[in-house]
Each structure stands twice: as C-alpha cells, then as structure tokens.
C-alpha cells in the first residue's frame, strides 16, 4: 500500500538509480496519473521528462471495462478476445476510435505536447499502476515505431496475470508490487486523487 503517487515514485526510484544522469534516457509518463509519478522519477534521477497522451477505450455500454487503448488513429491496441466476446466489429471500432480522437484532440489542446524524437533513446515508461496492460502496450507500440532503442516499463504495482502476459514485449519491467487479486490501481493507494488536465499541464511546464 502506497501513501500516494509521490510515495510510490520515490520508492520506485531506488530500482532505477542506475539510469541517473543519462542524457540518452527519457522518463515518459502516461496521462494522467503516470505523469505525476514520472515527474518525481525524472527529478530524482535527473532525466528529461516527456509524456504521451493515451486513452482507454471502454465498452459502449460499460465504459469501465477497457477493450483497447489509443494514442492516435494509427496507434490503437485492441484486446481481441474481449472484442470477439462482446461482438465489437470493425464498424463499431471505427465509431469508438472517432469518439476517442476528439478526446485526444481536446486534451492535446490543453497540454500542447510537441512531437518528440525517441530514436535511439532508452525509455523509462511510467504509469501509476497497470491492470490490463492495454495503455502501456499501446505506448510501447508507439515508441517502437518512433525508433526507441530500449523500453523499460516502470510501475509501482501490476496485476500478476498482466505481468506474465506483457513482460516479454518490454526490455525490462521494474515494479514494486505484483498482485494476484487486482481490481483497480486505486486499491493500492491510501490517497489516489483524480488528476486534472490542468495539473498535468502544470507539471509538464515546470
């Protein structure tokens, strides 16, 4: 159990200390909570902070159940098993992507992220926790396409099944806790405040 994202990030830093002061290494946080965690890590290790806007795609009738994630129209990850189970066909996927593209555009208007050159870089990809793994896999796909040399996933807590399923895709996975009974990331934090877009923008500007 972590006090908050800052507490988790400080503890995670101890496992990432070997990357300190490396000019070829970026800390990349996933919006929104991942940026809070990534900021602390980047400060402690004296590394550049970057961010990726990623949105979960939920079922039309049950938004909490994620069936995919999106960064852009070309960077979408689907859980094929869930899509098949709930009969999410190509046309429905297009509708869901279109809906999320507007959210991505609105958020980018607030954060004003510039295209980054990740070619040849070592990336420490950070979120405040991983349940299904869809957002981090989408970010992985995006970073690989951008030419990242090595991608290390760094998270405070991850679901056991997810760790077993996704670890092979990353060069390394660094975590503090792995849990079998995993319902939501928030259950592992005493204080899991909702992070506003404005707070993320402020963090990235500081």
Q: What is the predicted pLDDT for the residue at 60?
A: 86
Q: Is 113 helix (H, G, I), strand (E, B) or coil?
A: coil
Q: Per residue in 65-82, pLDDT tens? A: 789 999 976 789 899 999
User: Which tokens sit at 70?
Assistant: 């999106």
- The predicted-structure confidence for 115-157, as pLDDT tens digits, reads as follows 889 999 999 999 999 988 899 999 999 999 999 999 999 999 9
pTM over 0.75: yes
Helices (H), the chain: 5-13, 33-45, 80-85, 90-111, 134-145, 160-166, 197-205
57 beta partners = 68
Dihedral over Cα of 40, 41, 46, 52: its sign: negative
| Per-residue model confidence as pLDDT tens digits over 99-109 | 898 889 888 88
Mean residue pLDDT across the chain? 92
All structural domains of the chain, each given as residue ranges with its CATH number in brackets, are 5-53+114-205 (3.40.50.2020), 56-111 (no CATH)
With a cut of 90, say whether residue 206 has pLDDT above it: no
């Amino acid at each position: 159990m972590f006090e908050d994202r800052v507490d988790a990030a400080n503890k995670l830093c101890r496992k990432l200390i070997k990357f300190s002061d490396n000019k070829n290494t970026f800390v990349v946080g996933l919006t929104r909570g991942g940026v809070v965690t990534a900021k602390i890590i980047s400060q402690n290790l004296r590394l550049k902070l970057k961010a990726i806007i990623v949105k979960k795609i939920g079922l039309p009738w049950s938004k909490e159940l994620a069936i995919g994630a999106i960064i852009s129209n070309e960077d979408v990850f689907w859980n094929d098993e869930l899509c098949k189970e709930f009969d999410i066909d190509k046309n429905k996927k297009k509708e869901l992507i279109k809906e999320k593209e507007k959210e991505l555009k609105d958020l980018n208007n607030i954060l004003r992220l510039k295209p980054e050159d990740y070619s040849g870089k070592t990336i420490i990809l950070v979120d405040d926790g991983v349940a299904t793994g869809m957002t981090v896999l989408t970010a992985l796909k995006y970073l690989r396409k951008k030419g990242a040399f090595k991608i290390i996933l760094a998270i405070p807590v991850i679901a056991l099944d997810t760790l077993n399923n996704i670890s092979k895709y990353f060069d390394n996975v660094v975590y503090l806790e792995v849990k079998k009974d995993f319902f939501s990331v928030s259950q592992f934090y005493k204080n899991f405040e909702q992070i506003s877009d404005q707070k993320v923008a402020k963090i990235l500007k500081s």
